[in-house]
Each structure stands twice: as structure tokens, then as C-alpha cells.
Copies of this chain bind each other. A is one copy, B any other.
């Protein structure tokens, strides 16, 4: 498994498996859009994630960020340990602006060598990630940054 790249593990089969095992992602209509050059993007439409003000529900934004960081951790962990599990340990979110359109979460991070070294020793390995949340009403519009999330995840061989 040492030669696997996280991009090569971002497969339709893994995405199907995630949706089969975390039903809330189907309610949210989450799509796993892209994992390219170390940046993961996932998104969901506004409608199933709307609130009383007609904007994105904070709980949906939190759930989208949580799964984005979790998937990022899982993909990198599995380059060393096949089927490695990951859990969320701690998170922090700052909300900047209401989300008025499709919501996306993006994660790109430098994964420290220590993370891989601990996994290779079959020890739990922490990853501290920033996920940025955006909203976009129309595809041609610039996305608006609506929240910044920080999550600490633990990969467990």
C-alpha cells in the first residue's frame, strides 16, 4: 500500500460505501466532487439543508465540514493502512456569512510525515485540518466564503 496516492483511493466505490454507511449524507444530498492536487471538494444543495431564514442551516454546514475532514484523513491514512478507520476528536467553526446557494467544503493540507510514521508503526495518528466552506448561487458567480472549520481527526490502524 506504500505506493497508493490518496487521489487513487478517491473511488466511486468508496464514495458509495460512505453514503451507504452514513445515511444523513443522503438526506443532505452530499456529492463528492473532486480530489485533485491534494484538494478535496465536496458539496450539497441548499434545499435539503435550508433553515428558517432561507439560508444554509448551521448544522448542515457543520456536518459537511465534519465529513470533508474525515474523508481527507481517511484517504491519506489509507495510503499506509488499508481500511484504516478515522474519527473526529475536536472541531471549531467560525461562521462568516449566510449561505444562500449550493454549499461546498474544501480541504487542502500538508500532511506531516509524523502522521504517516505513526501509522506505519500501527499507532493512532492525529491530523489537524482546516476546511473552508463556500456558498454559490449560480455556477458563474464567485463563491462566497461562509465559514472556516478546524478539525482534529485521529486515524486508527
The residues of B that contact A90 with a CB separation of less than 8 Å are 92-95
Among B22, B52, B58, contact of A51 (Cβ-Cβ < 8 Å): B22
- Contact between chains at A64 and B59 (CB < 8 Å): yes
The residues of B that contact A58 with a CB separation of less than 8 Å are 66, 70, 87-88, 91
The residues of B that contact A18 with a CB separation of less than 8 Å are 52
Query: Which residue on B lies nearest to A47, using beta carbons?
Result: B23
Per-residue 0/1 for A70-99: is the Cβ within 8 Å of any B Cβ (1 yes, 0 no)?
Answer: 100000000000000101111111110010
Q: Is A27 positioned at the interface, with any CB of B under 8 Å from its CB?
A: yes
Complex alpha-carbon distance, A70 and B52, angstroms: 12
Q: List 28 A-B contacts (CB under 8 A).
A: A22-B51, A22-B52, A23-B47, A23-B48, A23-B50, A24-B57, A24-B60, A27-B27, A27-B48, A52-B85, A53-B85, A58-B87, A58-B88, A58-B91, A59-B64, A59-B66, A59-B67, A60-B63, A62-B62, A62-B63, A62-B66, A63-B63, A87-B98, A90-B93, A90-B95, A91-B93, A92-B92, A92-B93
- Beyond A22-B50, A23-B48, A92-B92, 20 extra complex contacts between A and B, CB < 8 Å: A21-B50, A21-B51, A21-B52, A22-B52, A22-B57, A24-B27, A24-B48, A24-B57, A24-B59, A27-B27, A57-B66, A59-B62, A59-B64, A59-B66, A62-B66, A63-B63, A87-B95, A89-B95, A90-B94, A92-B93
